[in-house]
Chain A
Amino acid sequence: MSTDNDNRQVETTIMELLAPYNKQGVALAPDTDIAADLNIDSADVLNFVMEVEDAFDIDIPVNDLSDVRTVADLVALVQSRIGSA
């Protein structure tokens, strides 16, 4: 089971990785919609996800991304991938 502390750590890292893509300076929160709120195109989403994969040393299959909209969704996905690694 992941603890709140683990979640916060994952969330902080993801927010840090997301910052360079946040060109319009939107305030990032767990419910931020990564593609829509930050106006990131599909190519940058893939680049960003690859950075997340490298940071946590996990694979995030493209298939799983269809369920990810918000930062919180991605945190949960990363947690589950860390758990299964």
Chain B
Amino acid sequence: MPDLLKKYHKLKQRHDALVQLGTDAVQLVNEQLLSPTRAIINGRETVLAGTNNYLGLTFEPECIEAGRKALEEYGTGTTGSRIANGTYALHVALEQALAEFMGRQHCMVFSTGFQANLGMIAGLAGPKDTIFIDMDSHASIFDGCRLSGATVVLFRHNDVEHLRRRLKRHDAGEGGRLVIVEGLYSMLGDTAPLREIAALKQEFDFQLLVDEAHSFGVLGKHGRGLAEQEDVEQAVDFVVGTFSKSLGGIGGYAVSDHPDFDVLRYASRPYMFTAAPSPASMATTLCILRQIARRPQLRKKLWDNAALLHNGLKERGFELGHEAVSPVVAVICPTQEYAVAMWNALLQHGVYVNLALPPGTPKKLALLRCSVSAAHTAEEIETVLQAFVKARDAVATMQV
């Protein structure tokens, strides 16, 4: 019998080769967090430019206090699922607040953002249904599709005509049809052509799910995401999101106006058969949600910072993954080896960004993915820009 982990030998060899070049990117440790934008890594104070902490609210004193209070009042964990003993007043309060914020009738909270996609997709679609997804979708969307047992049809990234052809060709038979896109794609920072995709509903019968994981708090007048920005919320049947980005916690949610939405509470296994999120997590998320609602200036600061980093990198001759300014700024590297060397050099110059390597990246690009925060100071953005230039100079002498 072959050893079960033997199949990963090639993957392991590849990982080992990357570690030879410096720090292990997938096992990096933040030894101490100093603020939403600073940590001690490898014993060095480091500016964090790859955290998805878009609004920078993870250290809000009021929200830390809310979490502390929840710990004291409700204990450390729920020790049970939502359908058993795990539903606390805090879960219900957060669901109501999120539904209100998103302007929807119903909300369900999940234990992680990944599970929100698993639970919604596998809850909505079954073996007789067909799901149409963008080929650059997040792993949780792919895995949700697989879990659902539905027929899965891919369309080219952000290619509305390609999706249209697929819908036209498709005979739904007795099954339903679900189209899934993301508000803001996490690797390159581009957005879905949501207005055009929503318009396809006039031509074809389908239900639409939008994953606003990266766009919640970031896009739209009130921060509800891309559907709000594009004024197509009416056409979106289901919105999925996460607490682990702008909301600075862990967990996920789905909102909808569908009258039967709550049936998913006892039909969706990733919702039903896992422990309900911890009380402290619910309390901090609720507190940060309220901060987002009353502090729209955070969004303006985020976009000002995004423009600073985007334009600064462009002026310094770096090739970026997206033409327009976005809170996700991806620097395209010529090779994987170059990306790894740059990533290590950036770390040595006190800047952390995400290292994103193929095949899990769009167009198989090797990327240094930055995400901007409203909490970044202008000086910190300048530190990031200078570190990119210094890292490029250092790597130029290494002949990678």
Contact A50 B154 (CB under 8 A): yes
Q: Tell me which residues from 342 to 380 in chain B have a Cβ below 8 Å from any Cβ of chain A.
A: 358-360, 364
- Interface stretch of the complex, out of A7-15, A22-30, A57-65, A68-76: A57-65
Candidates A43, A44, A58, A61; contact of B151 at CB < 8 Å: A61
B360: chain A residues within 8 A (beta carbon): 43
Contact A43 B166 (CB under 8 A): no
Contact A43 B153 (CB under 8 A): no
Given A46-B135, A50-B135, A85-B169: A62 touches B359 (CB 8 Å cut-off): no
Contact A42 B166 (CB under 8 A): no
A41 at the binding interface (Cβ < 8 Å): yes
Q: Tell me which residues from 147 to 200 in chain B have a Cβ below 8 Å from any Cβ of chain A.
A: 151-154, 156, 166, 169-170
B169: chain A residues within 8 A (beta carbon): 57-59, 85
Output the nearest chain B residue to A45 by Cβ-Cβ distance: B359
A57: chain B residues within 8 A (beta carbon): 169
Contact A61 B152 (CB under 8 A): yes
Contact B166 A62 (CB under 8 A): no
- Bin the interface of chain A by size: 10 to 19
Contact B359 A43 (CB under 8 A): yes
Given A59-B166, A63-B151: A50 touches B359 (CB 8 Å cut-off): no
Interface contacts (Cβ under 8 Å), in number, total 32
Nearest-neighbour CB distance to chain A for B183, whole angstroms, equals 22
B152: chain A residues within 8 A (beta carbon): 61-63
B280 at the binding interface (Cβ < 8 Å): no
For the residues of B in contact with A, the DSSP-based class is mixed
Candidates B151, B154, B170; contact of A46 at CB < 8 Å: B154
Contact A62 B154 (CB under 8 A): yes
B320 at the binding interface (Cβ < 8 Å): no
B309: chain A residues within 8 A (beta carbon): none
Query: With A and B bound together, what is the CA distance between A41 and B360 in angstroms?
Result: 10
A50: chain B residues within 8 A (beta carbon): 135, 154, 156
Output the nearest chain B residue to A41 by Cβ-Cβ distance: B359
Q: Tell me which residues from 125 to 149 in chain B have a Cβ below 8 Å from any Cβ of chain A.
A: 130, 135, 145
Output the nearest chain A residue to B361 by Cβ-Cβ distance: A43
A43: chain B residues within 8 A (beta carbon): 358-360, 364
B153: chain A residues within 8 A (beta carbon): 59, 61-62
A61: chain B residues within 8 A (beta carbon): 130, 151-153
Given A43-B358, A43-B359, A50-B156: A59 touches B135 (CB 8 Å cut-off): no
Query: With A and B bound together, what is the CA distance between A12 and B266 in angstroms?
Result: 50
Query: With A and B bound together, what is the CA distance between A46 and B157 in angstroms?
Result: 12
The 9 closest A-B pairs by CB, nearest first: A43-B359, A62-B152, A41-B359, A61-B151, A59-B153, A61-B152, A43-B364, A61-B153, A42-B359
6 extra interchain contacts, Cβ-Cβ under 8 A, other than A41-B359, A41-B364, A59-B166?
A43-B358, A44-B364, A59-B153, A61-B151, A62-B154, A63-B152
Q: Which residues of A contact B (CB under 8 A)?
A: 41-44, 46, 50, 57-59, 61-63, 85
12 A–B contacts, CB within 8 A, in A order: A41-B358, A41-B359, A42-B359, A43-B364, A44-B359, A44-B364, A50-B156, A57-B169, A59-B166, A59-B170, A61-B153, A62-B154
